[in-house]
């Protein structure tokens, strides 16, 4: 298994009362390309 170069665990983000992210987890192994899209 390749080691993760980016690792997020239970990430949360709020903008005032708006919960934009709630409990997001992500592992990106070395050599992989990921894209995140949003508003």
Is residue 6 within 8 Å of 26, Cβ to Cβ? Answer: yes
Average pLDDT over residues 16-31: 94
Query: What pLDDT is attached to residue 16?
Result: 97
Average pLDDT over residues 24-36: 91
For residue 25, give the nearest of 38, 8, 12 by alpha carbon.
Answer: 8
d(CA 30, CA 6): 8
Is residue 28 within 8 Å of 9, Cβ to Cβ? Answer: no
């Amino acid at each position: 298994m390749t080691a993760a170069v980016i690792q997020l665990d239970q990430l949360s983000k709020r903008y005032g009362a708006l919960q934009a992210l709630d409990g997001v987890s992500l592992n990106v192994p070395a050599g992989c390309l990921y894209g995140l899209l949003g508003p």
